[in-house]
Amino acid sequence: MSSLQGVVIADFSRVLAAPYATMMLGDLGAEVVKVEQPGRGDETRSWGPPHYEDEATYFLSVNRNKTSVQIDLSTEAGREQARELIARADVVVENFKPGTMKKFGLDYESLGRDDLVYCSISGFGSGKGADLAGYDLLVQAVGGLMSVTGPGPDEPVKTGVALVDVLTGLHACVGILAALRHRDATGQGQLVELDLLTVLLSSMVNQSAGFTLAGSVPEPMGNRHPSIAPYEVFPTVDQPIVLAVGNDRQFRRLCSVLDVPELATDPRFVTNSDRVENVDELFELLSARLRTRPAQHWFETLTPLGVPCGPVNDIAHAFALAESLDLNPTATIGDMTLVANPIRLSRTPVSYRLRPPKLEQ
């Protein structure tokens, strides 16, 4: 038994944000039917390298547990085929440019089904921002994320993955599940709308609240934290290591291991606020000690004492770490190894039933 067994999703989405949402719902047991443009399919089918055999790993990363059907929405026959699919669906998900589904007569209002949960995802909403292109990089720029990421104000940096798309997909899952819960209780569906910009503003949490509550406009701080120290990357003999010291007790233990116990009572560093104010001096003093040993030594020495730290891993080492902790970070479908769904449910676990569909399927 799966959590969403019996739920049918008509998936008109492409690229990343919405396909990530529908894959998550598919993992939870929903039947997901992905609608694709005939002969071309989802744009990400051509987004490579890298490839797995002849398929783009980008597409494969967000489209398992789905079947695919090719429908030409520009034709009346295609639109009728889409309406037949929606007629048996509990949920519709789409992330076309606002107004596109209305043009096809397939928007929430035109369908007129009171029990339908209909999720629309856009870049900047369906109002004044409807004509703006909703690309993750663009939203990271105009939404403020790049202004707090990178070494300094003249070198804005995007995150190394399309994080806004992923966050929007997760928020879409929450909205869809809430709407399904309401429908179970009342029989009524509803329209669920998300846009990348406001998802990003919400997801910037403390940075956003610093502005709305205190008028603070943050600037990039590299790997440092605006409110915690030491909380950044430090050099060692062989590779960088992260220290994420969240309280005074952890700081005292760190100073003891580094054989500089006097720093814990130094007026510049006694409290977290003191350390944040004097972070440059603190960095130099700690770096001098951390440079004397390899990263693994500090990891093995500090971790048992409750001092959060760890080497800066590449993805290969990150997967190896998860494996060593018995977290089972991968899932296998046939001969294909994919990233596992991180949600663990004790009664209705996620399942991996279908490999990402090929276009001809």
Residues taking part in catalysis: 165
- Residues listed for the chain: 361
Nearest CA among 169, 199, 193, 24 for reference residue 119: 193
Determine phi and psi for 164, rounding to 5 degrees: -65, -40
The amino acid that residue 284 corresponds to is E
Please answer whether residues 279 and 224 qualify as being in contact, where contact means their C-beta atoms are separated by less than 8 angstroms: yes
DSSP state of 24: H
- Cis upstream peptide for 304 (omega within 30°): no
Residue 160 to residues 68, 135, 151, 157, 205: CA-CA distances in angstroms?
A: 29, 15, 15, 9, 19
State the Cα–Cα distance between residues 358 and 62, nearest whole angstrom: 13
State the Cα–Cα distance between residues 208 and 187, nearest whole angstrom: 37
Question: Helices in the chain by DSSP H: which ranges?
Answer: 17-27, 57-60, 76-87, 100-103, 108-111, 136-142, 163-186, 196-203, 205-214, 248-257, 272-277, 279-290, 295-302, 315-324
State the Cα–Cα distance between residues 324 and 356, nearest whole angstrom: 28
- Among all chains, which residue has been given the structure tokens 């899932």? 331
Report the relative pairing of strands 8-12 and 31-36 from DSSP bridges: parallel
Please answer whether residues 83 and 104 qualify as being in contact, where contact means their C-beta atoms are separated by less than 8 angstroms: no
State the Cα–Cα distance between residues 220 and 72, nearest whole angstrom: 46
DSSP state of 341: P
Beta bridge partners of 311: 241
State the Cα–Cα distance between residues 189 and 201, nearest whole angstrom: 27
Residue 353: half-sphere exposure toward Cβ, Cα within 13 Å = 19
